[in-house]
Amino acid sequence: MKSSFPRLEIFTMVCLFCSSLYCLPTLATNKPSQMSYAAVVNDTILYVGGSGPGNYSRIQDAIDNATNGDTVFVFHGLYEETIHIGTSIRLTGEDKNTTIIDAKEEGTVVGISAHDTVFQGFTVQHAKNDIHSAGVVIDAISNVVITQNIIRDNGWFGISAQSSGTSQVTIDSNIICNNSYGLCLRQLSKVAIIANTIYDNLEGLYIIGLATSKIQNNTVVNKGLGVHMENCYDLILLGNDIDNNANGIYVYNSSEIIIEANTIAWNRWYGLWLKDTTFSIINKNSVLGNIDVGIFLESSFDTKITNNTILDNDNGIYLKDSAGNIIQNNDLRNYKMNGCFVAHTVVTRRNIWKLNYWERARILPYPIFGYIKLEKITLSWMNVDWTPLRNPPRSTNIQYLTNDGTIRYVGGNGPNNYSSIQAAIDDAQQNDTIYVFNGTYYETVIINKPLRLTAEEKTTTILEGNGTRDIITICADYVTVNNFTIYNGHFNILINHSSYTIITGNIIGSGLHGVSVQNGCDLLTISKNSFQDNVYGIRIFFSTDVTISYNSLQSFKINAFYYGTSITHGRHHWYQNYWDKPRYLPCVIPGKIRIDNFSFFWINVDWFPLTNPL
């Protein structure tokens, strides 16, 4: 029955839905969500069940008679059917504990193939136990919300979204239990998995090819792996409780993953394992009581492990064939070893250990022991934390950008877009993103606050310096610049008094200096850039621990050099760059150190230069 006098009834429906927010079982301790949903909704409501004179008896019949923007409201009861949502509607159950859709193992319980759909307030159970069926299946669509449901006992998958092109999916405040896989997501983008309780599945979250997404404030307690992530990019795991799984979090072949402020505890093997993963951040986590190892990096590079509390694991941090990682400001108190490493080559970049707390106050440098295992011999080796802490660190010393800030647009045809990059930066707050549409921009850009400056397409989003001016000047910490063409400047990029800044994925050319780093910069990353036809490619003055990796450097005079007034100013990390031509032997990067009246030459080495540009 369709109704056109819905004001009182809509109010009643909203009250019923809100009251269902508190009907969680004891295990559902997930944090409350603050999500809001934008969907096309009109005033028409179709009713299923209940005692209304024209109400539908089957959910699918009501869906088939709905039009875009309608609400289908289902009164409590058992509905033994499989349903398919092919229209943009809001499908709402009266009470998720008592409004039950049961497929009787005949197929997928709920299939969704319409954009702008909300599904909320049901128990979804007994899908067919095969790989093609699930409690909820989401097709290649966008703007879908799955919220406030109980999704249980569904054979293979609780929620499945495996169609390429699916985006803007929100999975919020659900209980997902007793499935083989709680969630299985493949090739999706812009997904928010927020405040769910995912427990007693064989695997909790199984995620492949996810990009630009967030997993936040979930409780994950499962029989096997808590979170499996593979081939993912630009993901944030924030504020989750991942405990009492067989294994906590496994990340494979991924990049730019932020794992922050999670509790990863009492898992029966490892807490967090990164394999073949790069340019990631592990920050402010509590890694507690995991059997074997708290944090394990295998064949992983350029990852920052900072501000974590790592207590009561068998082993704290274990690095295997991993290099260029920064381990800083952590509190390490574990049963066997707090830190250790193993490698299979003598020639590799070292990892940086600094300012960690090692069980108790340390006055002398703290050694981190490891092994180099060659084909016929095993060598004992050692890294050193030269500046260990005397007290457990404060967790607020290091902070990183997330994608939580406001996006400010420059160029394009949006009604409120900025015409100037600098104007957008001036209005931005810390953690904002400045997104620049294609075009050529003739301006000087000064970045004096932590933010992310990113372009639509690097070959067609151009910052031009007219041969005389500095194009981008960075004088703040935690800045990211990526995906531009930056050329024909004096300093194409000048970085001054900055830490934790990232320059990645740009074309930097035709300037006097491609990138100049100077005056006390620390722990910068310059990666995956193409330096073309600059007089000098990369210049580093009076700075420490800069990582330069996977760049292509083709300059007129010098591709890279550095200068300093202490030994630490000669400590930089070069890895797998392309140096003008194919190189099959290590490439030497020259520098000079001046101490008082004495100057002497210094060298860094890129031990594994590339034979072809990236």
pLDDT tens string 171-186: 999 999 999 999 999 9
pLDDT bin (cut points 50, 70, 90) of residue 575 is: confident
Q: Write the single-letter amino acid at 540.
A: I
Q: What is the pLDDT of residue 508?
A: 97
Q: What is the pLDDT of residue 8?
A: 31
Q: Name every residue whose Cβ is closer than 8 Å to that of residue 32 and which is 6 or more positions away in sequence.
A: 173, 195
What are the C-alpha distances in Å from 161 to residues 122, 130, 222? Answer: 19, 15, 20
Q: What is the percentage of the chain residues whose pLDDT exceeds 90?
A: 77
Report phi then psi at 421, rounded to 5: -65, -45
Tell me the two tokens of residue 393.
């660190």
Q: What is the percentage of the chain residues whose pLDDT exceeds 70?
A: 91
Best-predicted range by mean pLDDT among 1-15, 18-32, 96-110? 96-110
pLDDT bin (cut points 50, 70, 90) of residue 468 is: confident
Check whether 4 has a pLDDT greater than 50. Answer: no
Which of 555, 559, 550, 611 has the alpha carbon at shortest distance from 585? Answer: 611
pLDDT in tens, 270-285: 999 999 999 999 999 9
pLDDT in tens, 414-456: 888 999 999 999 999 988 999 999 999 999 999 999 999 999 9
Is 404 or 420 the better-scoring residue by pLDDT? 420
Tell me the two tokens of residue 403.
């994608």
Is 500 or 48 the better-scoring residue by pLDDT? 48
pTM of the model: 0.77
pLDDT bin (cut points 50, 70, 90) of residue 404 is: low
pLDDT bin (cut points 50, 70, 90) of residue 83 is: very high
Bridge pairing between strands 558-564 and 536-541 = parallel
Q: What is the pLDDT of residue 24?
A: 31
- 521-541 burial, b at 16+ Cβ within 10 Å, e below that, comes to bbbbbbbbbbbbebebbbbbb
Q: What is the pLDDT of residue 340?
A: 94
Q: What is the pLDDT of residue 11?
A: 32
In angstroms, the CA 144 to CA 91 distance is 12
Q: What is the pLDDT of residue 414?
A: 82
Tell me the sheet residues that pair with 252: 230, 275
Q: What is the pLDDT of residue 127?
A: 96
Q: Name every residue whose Cβ is closer than 8 Å to that of residue 337 and which is 6 or more positions away in sequence.
A: 315, 316, 318, 369
Check whether 194 has a pLDDT greater than 70. Answer: yes
Q: What is the pLDDT of residue 10?
A: 35
Strands (E), 261-303: 263-265, 270-275, 281-283, 286-288, 293-298
pLDDT bin (cut points 50, 70, 90) of residue 90 is: very high
The residue-averaged pLDDT of 389-399 equals 69
pLDDT in tens, 213-251: 999 999 999 999 999 999 999 999 999 999 999 999 999
pLDDT bin (cut points 50, 70, 90) of residue 608 is: confident
Check whether 115 has a pLDDT greater than 50. Answer: yes
The residue-averaged pLDDT of 255-269 equals 94
Q: What is the pLDDT of residue 587?
A: 94
Q: Write the single-letter amino acid at 232.
A: C
pLDDT bin (cut points 50, 70, 90) of residue 109 is: very high
Q: What is the pLDDT of residue 38?
A: 46
pLDDT bin (cut points 50, 70, 90) of residue 614 is: confident
The residue-averaged pLDDT of 397-423 equals 80
Sheet holding 525-527, edge to edge: 407-410, 433-436, 452-455, 480-482, 502-504, 525-527, 547-549, 573-575
Phi-psi region of 597 (alpha: psi -120 to 50; beta: other; left: phi over 0): alpha
